[in-house]
Amino acid sequence: MMPESETARRQQYRMAGKHSAVKICHWTKKSLLDEGACYKEQFYGIPCHRCCQMTPCLLCSNKCVFCWRDLEAFNGIRMSETDDPKEIVDRCIEMQRHLLNGFPGNEKVNRKKLEEAQDPNMFAISLSGEPTIFPNLKGLVAELTGRGICSFLVTNGQFPGVLEKLDPLPTQLYVSLDAPNRELYKSIDNPSLPDFWERFNRTLELISRMKTRTVLRITAIKGLNMTDLEGYASLIRKARPMFVEVKAYMYVGSSRERLKEENMPMHQDILEFSERLAKLAGLKVIDQKKESRVALLAKDDSKDRKLKL
């Protein structure tokens, strides 16, 4: 197993094999102390104390300016030899438990939640890198599904062919919608693939037909991509997602080397942007969470948007 870089270990990443990694989310920790929960718990009913935040691939085809990760921390990762999906899931759960080791000594911890957290029933395949680069993503999703574990897969949409082959599909599929047009996408996402815009649009067309829960997620960066709302609306109409999330860029981690604090929108900025976008795209703002500076858009507030896990 490849050792973590010093930076990655200091940031509480733990390797789960040759190319996979785990890191406990800030909101998972807060939930264990009954100090709040992830907005996904509010929006979709996900018990975030039982969520395993992981990735099967620490490599990425894009180098987004807003990414809080250290883009150089995993330069030694190679995908020439890959781990078996069962081994990845087992190792992720093992590392999740290892990272939870300090909580029993905290008198504020919710003991029932801590016990439940030892056996995650939700995998957020979103930690870092681009999971669709992992050659056996299909097998990983199948392994999770077979164990009765819910999967939220987050992708930049650069590998539509991989998404097309997924069977079974993840519980919820996120596609990052970082820009409303080709020019802004190139400057914000810094893609390495020359046909990045064509690949991204093929993904949007693909998810319009996928029989699973689909979400487009906009990371809104003030002064950079909160523009061309008609461009966003056109892409949303093409993808026909169940939901659209508009989430404020947060001035944290390595993104501070590339952006400024004033690029971080306030919650009111997010709401105003979301209301204007919703009107153009034929959607409504159906939920929001001020602490996370995020709004949820959909055609209507569907009664089945909250999963029963």
Residue 114: pLDDT over 80: yes
Q: What is the pLDDT of residue 128?
A: 85
Residues 6+ apart with CB under 8 A from 70: 5, 7, 8, 11, 253, 254
**Residues forming a β-bridge with 298:** 284
Q: Which two tokens stand for residue 54?
A: 């992981």
CA distance 40 to 53: 13
Whole-number pLDDT of residue 248 = 98
Single-letter residue type at 129: G
**70-102 per-position pLDDT tens digit:** 666 555 566 778 999 999 999 999 999 999 998
Arch. (CATH architecture) of 6-298: Alpha-Beta Barrel (3.20)
**Averaged pLDDT, 135-139:** 96
